[in-house]
Chains A and B, each alone.
Chain A
């Protein structure tokens, strides 16, 4: 091929062929391989999920409080008569009652009488049962 001149001769083709409909199938194949974000609903779903979780948490909390209140035993304040009846019927000794009191309560009970010894002696000497008291 002595006359072959690239610049002057008619251009040769490479001779490479492609299978029929190759480019059509390539496009389809590529569209399945590429992670197109058209259906990218994940962020939206996550946002919604957070809201759903928050709403569910509030609902559960509200229901729990209501149920707890209904289920828990009611505290009833006893009235004065009931208390008195209890104290009478409970067969408590004086010591049991004193145990229920604190020092402040006991202090409030104490009474100071401003009476001189002479007055007490005079009072006792006039009492006809004095001898009896002394014997006891």
Chain B
């Protein structure tokens, strides 16, 4: 935690800001990208959202109180950005976010940046059937191996509730795959 506060000071200090921000990008760009991509599903959209996320991180860093870990705070920003992005895109296309995501999954086979097989596409279809919160919990736990404690900080939900949520999500996904 002390190391992290030193790192945050480096990010805010004009003399060390350049190197510190490069380090921040190096550490967090991959996990944040995959977190965002699991929500928006499309590479170009994930790229836009990730850039916005880093810009917001940089903008609001001076307001970061250190009440949570930097990692959790950045994940929270990325999650909000990704969900807002999907909702806005759906609104622009006069559709719902669920319909928009279904369309993307339907076109995954033709996506140049997707190399999964039929089972992986089916898994994505199954995830789409989950409620918003369960979808997030499943993606973070299953694909990203985040600990419940970390997810609790990011999503502001108790560890117990998250475990229950994941358990329900797993059952629904297994049922979907079994019956489709």
Identify 19 residue pairs between A and B in the complex whose beta-carbon atoms are under 8 Å apart, listed by A's number: A2-B178, A4-B119, A4-B177, A14-B120, A14-B143, A15-B114, A15-B121, A16-B37, A18-B33, A19-B43, A22-B47, A26-B25, A26-B29, A30-B21, A30-B51, A31-B21, A31-B22, A33-B51, A34-B54
A14→B34 contact, CB < 8 A: yes
Shortest A21–chain B CB gap in Å is 13
A67 at the interface (CB under 8 A from B): no
The total of chain B residues at the interface (CB under 8 A) is: 41
Chain B hits for A38, CB < 8 A: 14-15, 17-18
Chain B hits for A22, CB < 8 A: 47
Give complex CA distance A2, B178 in Å. 5
Chain B hits for A36, CB < 8 A: 14, 17-18, 21
**Which residues from chain A sit less than 8 Å from chain B, CB to CB?**
1-2, 4-7, 11-19, 22-23, 26-27, 29-31, 33-38, 40
B113→A12 contact, CB < 8 A: no
Chain A hits for B124, CB < 8 A: 14-15
Give complex CA distance A15, B55 in Å. 27
**Which residues from chain B sit less than 8 Å from chain A, CB to CB?**
14-15, 17-18, 21-22, 25-26, 29-30, 33-34, 37-38, 41, 43, 47, 50-51, 54-55, 58, 108, 113-117, 119-124, 142-143, 170, 173-174, 177-178
Chain A hits for B18, CB < 8 A: 31, 36, 38
A-B contact count (CB 8 A): 94
Known: A31-B22, A40-B14. A14 touches B38 (CB 8 A): yes
New contact pairs (11) apart from A16-B43, A40-B14, CB-CB < 8 Å: A4-B119, A6-B170, A12-B123, A14-B37, A14-B120, A15-B114, A17-B113, A17-B114, A27-B22, A27-B25, A30-B25
Nearest neighbor of B38 in chain A, beta-carbon distance: A14
Give complex CA distance A15, B34 in Å. 11
Give complex CA distance A60, B131 in Å. 75
Chain B hits for A19, CB < 8 A: 43, 113
Give complex CA distance A135, B14 in Å. 114
Rank and list the top 10 A-B pairs by shortest CB-CB distance, nearest first.
A15-B116, A37-B14, A15-B120, A4-B177, A17-B113, A38-B18, A27-B25, A6-B170, A34-B58, A16-B37
Most chain B Cβ neighbours within 10 Å, of A15, A16, A31: A16
Contact of B116 among A5, A6, A11, A13 (CB under 8 A): A13
